[in-house]
Amino acid sequence: MVPNRKCAGIGCKLREHIRCSDMPAADVTRLENTMVVRTVTRTEKIFSQGADATGLYCLRSGHALLWHADIFNHKTAFRVVGPGEMMGYRSLFGEDAHAATAQALTACDVCYYPKKVVLQLVDEFPGFARRFFRTLARDRGPRDALLLRGQHIPVRTRLINLLLLMNTDEMCPDDGECVLKLPMLRRDIAALLAARPESIARAIKELGQDGIAIFSGRTVTIPNLDALTVETNSEQLPLKGAVTV
């Protein structure tokens, strides 16, 4: 782990939460002062399954993967965390130990806010709390996995879903082809889709032959984005919309 350093200004979704609450400048500063930014390298763990949840994490840059290991160390990933996204809030508010490990897929700048300060602010400012309620209620954490797995959806379709999920930014010109860089290994894709790396390789080959998505290392070229969406819609999507109870 690289030496910590203070960092002025709050990044991530948290800034948005603050804007929506009527938090005075003094309290924002209080939060800023306790924030710690640390830089982690690829494959390094940000927090580990089983460890106490001592605070809230936020990615300033880079990508991380959340996965859970069973007693046989069989890993099941269920969320890709991108720049600006928070993580660790479920165990924070659930008052549980971390039930998943966060591992850096690429080099990351990670913000950390101590539990005590976050909970205090949540208690004091209803507007701030309400934003967290929304985040928690809409959290796709385990839902990402649900969306992507499910036996009756073929691996090919699950892979397409993942591509569409990773394509949030506007790296796609409206008509032309679309180039996407996946921040993870085949092994990680497999863990996310609840499949084996071999099955992923076969699905990738198939998509390439059909001219739907051409993989070259971690770079994916998608000639026609519509062709992807068409295919997911024609398949059975068991949890297409958000599954909010």
Question: Residue 145, interface with a copy of itself (CB under 8 A)?
Answer: yes
Q: Which stretch binds DNA (CB under 7 A): 12-20, 48-56, 77-85, 197-205?
A: 197-205
Can you tell me the distance from the alpha carbon of 245 to that of 237, in angstroms, rounded to the nearest whole number? 18
Q: Which does 78 bind (CB under 5 to 8 A by kind): DNA, a copy of itself, none?
A: a copy of itself
User: Nearest approach, Cβ of 140 to a copy of itself (angstroms)?
Assistant: 9
Asked if 23 and 120 count as a contact pair (C-beta separation under 8 A), the reply is no
What are phi and psi for residue 159, nearest 5 degrees?
-65, -40
State how far the alpha carbon of 61 is from the alpha carbons of 13, 27, 111, 190, in Å: 12, 25, 10, 24
Can you tell me the distance from the alpha carbon of 244 to that of 140, in angstroms, rounded to the nearest whole number? 9
Q: Which does 187 bind (CB under 5 to 8 A by kind): DNA, a copy of itself, none?
A: DNA
- Taking CB under 7 A as the criterion, the residue among 198, 240, 242, 243 binding DNA is 198
| Contacting residues for 29 by C-beta, under 8 A, at least 6 apart | none
Q: Name the β-bridge partners of 218.
A: none
Cα dihedral 28→30→36→37 (10° resolution): 20
Can you tell me the distance from the alpha carbon of 172 to that of 170, in angstroms, rounded to the nearest whole number? 5
Q: Which stretch binds DNA (CB under 7 A): 60-68, 102-110, 167-175, 184-192?
A: 184-192
Question: Residue 196, interface with DNA (CB under 7 A)?
Answer: yes
**Closer Cβ to a copy of itself, 12 or 145, answer by number:** 145
Q: Which stretch binds DNA (CB under 7 A): 60-68, 110-118, 164-172, 203-211?
A: 203-211
Task: Count the neighbouring beta carbons within 10 Å of the beta carbon of residue 27.
Answer: 17
Can you tell me the distance from the alpha carbon of 138 to that of 127, in angstroms, rounded to the nearest whole number? 17
- Taking CB under 8 A as the criterion, the residue among 7, 107, 185, 194 binding a copy of itself is 194
Question: Residue 142, interface with a copy of itself (CB under 8 A)?
Answer: yes
**Closer Cβ to a copy of itself, 165 or 239, answer by number:** 239
Question: Residue 146, interface with DNA (CB under 7 A)?
Answer: no
Q: Which does 171 bind (CB under 5 to 8 A by kind): a copy of itself, DNA, none?
A: none
Asked if 31 and 117 count as a contact pair (C-beta separation under 8 A), the reply is yes
Q: Which residues bind a copy of itself (CB under 8 A)?
A: 66, 68, 70-72, 74, 76, 78-79, 87-96, 98-100, 119, 122-124, 126, 129-130, 132-134, 136-139, 141-143, 145-146, 149-152, 194-195, 233, 236-245
Q: Which residues bind DNA (CB under 7 A)?
A: 151-156, 185-187, 194-205, 215, 217
